[in-house]
Every structure is written in structure tokens, then in C-alpha cells.
Structure 1
Amino acid sequence: MPYEAKTRPTEADVAAFLDRVEPAVRREDGRVVCELMRKVSGEDPQMWGPSIIGFGRHAYRYASGHTGETSRIGFSPRKGALVFYLSCNAAQQESLLARLGKHTTGVGCLYIKKLAEVDMAILEELIRAAWAHPEPA
């Protein structure tokens, strides 16, 4: 049986999703990030699954032959942090990350608790780099 991705684009309303985000600081930060990603990508946001806001589409193929589609860039305003899905090579972005401000990283993800704790110009550079050179997460 072929693999079917669980996180797929939906018709859910992005603004309505953001209106329900708690706490309030995460909701407001989510709105700011949504507009920043819209500006960088030139695309309208779309819900991917129940909690990821994505921009654009990126088809990929792994060496194993597995193929799929994901948003080109995206984020999720989760309770503990904003999670960025930038699908870029974090090692290549090391110098930017060093200047970003308070954050953590995981496999294919960037975590920021408050936008007020990071340099927004550096965040925009990271988003632009991911938009320009998407790689599978």
C-alpha cells in the first residue's frame, strides 16, 4: 500500500484558526508570521492538516523513491512555541541562527517562544532562504 501523508492541504479558514490560538501572545505572533510569510512568498496561506499554516507547495522525492508534497514554507502557532517548517538546511543557516536571538532547533524545525525575543530581519532572511531553496524536511 502506498504511503499517504497525514498532513495535507485543507479548505479550513486560516484566519479562523488563528483567532482560536492561545495564549494571546502566540495568536498575535502567529498573525505577524502569517503576514511575513505571505509577503516573502507572494502566496496566500493555506491550512495543512489541523494546525500548520503553509505557503506554496513543494514536491519531493527521497533516494528511497518515496515521493510527496509539502508546503514550501510554513509554521504552527503551538501552545509552547511558534514552530517554523522552513525545510532548509539548518547547518547552512548557522550564521543567521547565531544572530537570530532566543530559539531552539529540531529536525527540520525552528522553535521560537516569542517574536519579541528574536531579530525579525534575521527571521525574514531565514524564511526567504527557505522559500528560495526548498528541501524536504
Structure 2
Amino acid sequence: MYEQKTKETDDSVVEFIEAIESKKKKEDAYRLLDIFTEETGYEAKMWGPSIIGFGSYHYIYKTGHEGDAPLVGFSPRKAKISLYFATGDQERETLLKDFGKHTSGKSCVYINKVDDIDIDILKKLIHQSVAFLKKLYPASE
């Protein structure tokens, strides 16, 4: 049976951020923590060893695979900062056009530093992702 790797933990978000070696990445992590907390209204929680997530939803795929995930989140990784937003909504792609310097993967948006992006667009992406997932998975929370 499949066991989900990335689960919510009781680890300290502040301790995780304080352990970041790069001063600039640490500053960016605190800045993102403030923005995500303010925009979502959720308390930050650690998901797995390195993702800071906000809120949660329960998903069930057509294959029967199911699990829990944060509505939005970020991870200040060594190379880049990963931002986690919902996929599958065209509004995300539209917002990303004016987001600033970034690259996109299947489920992540990668940035080098917060100064490279438009904070107002970040806030819109957070709201869009939360609204999209709550509509897609209404039983969540």
C-alpha cells in the first residue's frame, strides 16, 4: 500500500527557517512566511522535512490514490525557492505571465529571490490557488 511521503508534522517552522545557512534565503523565507500567513489566514505548518504549508485539503484521484496536501506553500531550498500553488487552473498560467523572474515545473514555481517577483501577483496566486482547491475539494478542512 502506498504511503504518502509528505505529511504535516509538528516540527517548528521557525527552527527550520533559522537553520537556513544563507542569510538572504533566510530573510526571504521570513518574508514569504509573513505574506502567506497574512494572505491565507492559516498558521504555517511543516510538511515533511522542508515544505512550509498553509491550510490543507484531502484529494482523491480517479486511480483511488488519496492523501492530504497544503493548499499553498513554499520551500527555501538551496538552489531556488519552490512555491507551491494548485495546478490545473488557467488563471494560474495567466498570473504567472506577469509574476517576474521564475521557472515552472509540474507543480512548483521556482524563484531565486523574493525581490525578483511581483508581490501583488504572489498574493493573487495564493488566493487563486486556495479558492481553486477549495472549489475542487469542497470537503476539505
**Same topology, TM > 0.5:** yes
Q: Which residue of 1 aligns with 2:50?
A: 51
TM-score (norm 2): 0.90
* TM alignment of 1:1-137, pairs within 5 A: 2-89=1-88, 91-134=90-133
How far apart, in 1, do the equivalents of 2:40 and 2:123 lie? 11
Over 4 Å off, 4+ runs? none
Tell me if structure 2 keeps the 8 A contact 1:90–1:108: no
In structure 1, runs of 5+ residues without a counterpart are none
SS in 1 for 2:109: strand
Superposed CA offset, 1:102-131 (max 9, x none): 000000100010111111101111111111
Alignment: residue pair count: 135
SS in 1 for 2:127: helix
TM-score (norm 1): 0.92
Shift of 1:91: 4.1
Tell me if structure 1 keeps the 8 A contact 2:89–2:132: no
